[in-house]
Amino acid sequence: GLEISRGLLRSKQWYQRRVRGKIVCIDRNDPLAEQMNDITDVEKVMPGYLEATRDWFRIYKFPTGKPMNEFAFNGEWKDKAFAERVIKETNEYWKVLVSNKGVADDVATKNTSVQNSNALITVDEATQILNSQPVAAAAAAVEASTQNQVFVKRTIPENVCC
């Protein structure tokens, strides 16, 4: 998700994920939450925010030599109804996954919290599994190119990397 609340997230509230799409969301306790019920409200309440966000997602990898990102739906922000359909569909896939129905043997679905899951295990069993894993290697050195600061003017044309 793409959190647009004005406050900071507390530790362990944000989990990094690789997702193909972003769902714009706001903390219900944010002072602006009452004013935003759909994507069109974001532009009304926070003018320019969505355009700046799309620009950032388009160019953020470009300074490291990667191409600019392209967007589904021609970069059009989709509405709340669309997002809710995607969430519901994804949840159905998740339910199938945790039920182990038709899941390949090499897909690990063991968990300690999904009560109707065929792969439900105890915390002690999970701890044993984790403790039996090899110790993680030391973190790789930080790549020097990630330490560069690059400023890209917003006026850069879409086809600059093509």
Task: Report the pLDDT value the prediction gives residue 151, as an integer from 0 to 100.
Answer: 64
Q: Got the DSSP string for 83-137?
A: HHHHHHHHHHHHHHHHHTTT--TTS---BSS-TT-TTB--HHHHHHHHHTSPPPP
Taking only the tens place, the pLDDT of each residue in 83-134 is 999 999 988 888 888 777 777 778 888 889 888 888 889 999 999 999 999 9
- Please name the residue that has the structure tokens 């190119």: 145
Contact assessment for residue 46 and residue 145, using Cβ atoms and an 8 Å cutoff:
no
List the structure tokens of 11.
């530790």
128 token code pair: 């044993």
Summarised one tens digit per residue, pLDDT across range 58-85 is: 888 888 888 988 888 888 999 999 999 9
pLDDT at 6 over 70: no
**Prediction pTM value:** 0.62
Q: Are 40 and 79 in contact (CB under 8 A)?
A: yes
Contact 96, 104 (CB under 8 A): no
Output the pLDDT for position 23.
84
Identify whether the C-beta of residue 83 lies closer than 8 Å to the C-beta of residue 89.
no
**Residue 111: how many CB atoms within 10 A of its CB?**
13
End-to-end CA gap in the chain: 29
Q: What is the pLDDT of residue 16?
A: 40
In the chain, pLDDT over 90 holds for what percent of residues? 24
Please give the pLDDT value at position 3. 61
Mean pLDDT value across residues 135-146: 80
The answer to whether the beta carbons of residues 50 and 42 sit under 8 Å apart is yes
The pLDDT of residue 39 is 93
What would the mean pLDDT of 8-36 be, rounded to a whole number?
68
As a whole number of angstroms, the distance between CA 9 and CA 66 comes to 29
> Greater confidence, 152 or 99?
99
**pLDDT of 160 above 60:** no
